[in-house]
């Protein structure tokens, strides 16, 4: 296995590209995030098509060609030090066959996002580049904690996160070490069997999701099981499971870990003996603390629950 490449630390004044690889956004939805980037001492630079609207059965942020153009610009422009997705939604898979790494391979940079951005992060890791599974620039309806952003800036400047996690009744005790892979479960599922899927052998897998009916959640878990994923991984970290089943949108960020969704996951894992953490603070939730995809991570699950990079 080739060594994973971590981008160099960004410096004060660095330019951070903002792009929309999937769903559309409006300029007002990014004002707070852009202001925060400036407050932290960096310069936000928006992609040419970031606020484009293209309706084709879904409100995309531009045509596939336009979204690919912005992402390839951000990846390969010498003046850009990091890339931050405006939001997720749907559409990142469209871009995978057209990504260019001509200059990126020589001067890699952090890519930050979650949700649909899992597809891009999987592709980055296939090419041995780490990325940050963290809060997008657009603030979601459930809000976002200050830590969710502050910790992203900390990682980009060289710090490695350490998390103590609240104990969950469904946790499976044990410890494991390995490379962290994963992100949004729907995208992990959608990439199975393609050249862009994560590799799972001896990895620590992270999953989170939003708005899935319980049978759809179980279908995705069954696909992972039938693909042998659970026989290969060394540990599992379960993040936010919000607005699952028939529930309406959840406005209470403290209820971001649907109990029945966690029960379904737990039942599917009964025959496996790797450690499992439920309720990790990452996902479509208020307290969306960043993870480093591709980084070595240690997880310990007992009376104390810990995730350390």
Q: Residue range 233-255: average pLDDT?
A: 78
Look at residue 52 and tell me if it is in a domain: yes
pLDDT for residue 209 is more than 70: yes
Assess whether 272 and 206 both reside in one domain: yes
Between CA 15 and CA 20, with CA 17 as vertex, the angle to 5 degrees is 165
Q: Residue range 199-220: average pLDDT?
A: 97
The 10s digit of each residue's pLDDT in 141-160 is: 778 999 999 999 999 999 99
The reply to whether the predicted model has a pTM over 0.75 is yes
Helical packing angle, 214-226 and 259-268, nearest 10°: 20
Phi-psi region of 294 (alpha: psi -120 to 50; beta: other; left: phi over 0): left
Give the Cα separation of 184 and 88 in Å (integer): 10
Q: Which of 81, 92, 148, 284 is catalytic?
A: 284
208's enclosing H/E stretch is strand 203-210
Domain count for the chain, please give it.
2
The 10s digit of each residue's pLDDT in 160-202 is: 999 999 999 999 999 999 999 999 999 999 999 999 999 999 9
pLDDT band per the 50, 70, 90 thresholds, residue 247: low
Q: What is the pLDDT of residue 224?
A: 98
Q: Is 141 a catalytic residue?
A: no
Structural domain boundaries enclosing 137? 15-157
Cα end-to-end distance, the chain, whole Å = 19
The answer to whether 258 and 283 have CB atoms below 8 angstroms apart is no
Q: What is the pLDDT of residue 253?
A: 47
Q: Is 302 a catalytic residue?
A: no
Q: How much of the chain exceeds pLDDT 70, in percent? A: 97
Q: CB neighbours (10 Å) of residue 140? A: 18
Q: Which of 208, 212, 256, 300 is catalytic?
A: 208
Look at residue 223 and tell me if it is in a domain: yes
Q: CB neighbours (10 Å) of residue 58? A: 12
Q: Is 208 a catalytic residue?
A: yes
The 10s digit of each residue's pLDDT in 1-16 is: 689 999 999 999 999 9
Phi, psi of 218 (to 5 degrees): -65, -40
Coil, strand, or helix at residue 219? helix
Look at residue 222 and tell me if it is in a domain: yes
Look at residue 299 and tell me if it is in a domain: yes
Assess whether 191 and 297 both reside in one domain: yes
Residue where a domain terminates, one of 106, 124, 157: 157
Look at residue 136 and tell me if it is in a domain: yes
CATH number at residue 101: 3.40.50.10740
Q: Which of 81, 115, 131, 148 is catalytic?
A: 115
């Amino acid at each position: 296995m080739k060594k994973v490449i971590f981008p160099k630390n960004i410096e004060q004044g660095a330019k951070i590209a903002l792009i929309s690889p999937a769903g559309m956004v409006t300029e007002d939805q990014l004002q707070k995030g852009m202001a925060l980037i400036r407050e932290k001492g960096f310069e936000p630079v928006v992609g040419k098509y970031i606020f484009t609207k293209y309706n084709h059965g879904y409100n995309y942020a531009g045509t596939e060609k336009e979204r690919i153009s912005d992402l390839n610009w951000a990846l390969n422009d010498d003046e850009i030090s990091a890339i931050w997705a405006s939001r997720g939604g749907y559409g990142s898979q469209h871009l995978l066959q057209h990504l260019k790494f001509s200059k990126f391979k020589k001067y890699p940079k952090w890519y930050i996002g979650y949700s649909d951005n899992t597809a891009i992060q999987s592709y980055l890791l296939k090419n041995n580049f780490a990325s940050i599974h963290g809060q997008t620039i657009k603030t979601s309806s459930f809000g976002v904690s200050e830590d969710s952003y502050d910790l992203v800036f900390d990682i980009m400047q060289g710090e490695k996160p350490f998390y103590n996690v609240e104990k969950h009744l469904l946790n499976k005790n044990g410890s494991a070490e390995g490379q962290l892979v994963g992100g949004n479960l729907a995208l992990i599922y959608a990439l199975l069997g393609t050249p862009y899927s994560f590799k799972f052998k001896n990895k620590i897998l992270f999953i989170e999701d939003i708005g899935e009916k319980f049978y759809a959640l179980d279908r995705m878990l069954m696909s992972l099981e039938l693909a042998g994923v659970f026989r290969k991984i060394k540990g599992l970290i379960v993040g936010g499971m919000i607005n699952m089943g028939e529930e309406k949108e959840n406005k209470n960020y403290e209820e971001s870990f649907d109990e029945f969704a966690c029960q379904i996951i737990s039942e599917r894992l009964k025959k496996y003996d790797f450690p499992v953490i439920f309720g990790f603070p990452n996902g479509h939730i208020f307290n969306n603390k960043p993870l480093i995809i591709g980084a070595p991570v240690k997880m310990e699950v007992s009376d104390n629950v810990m995730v350390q990079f």
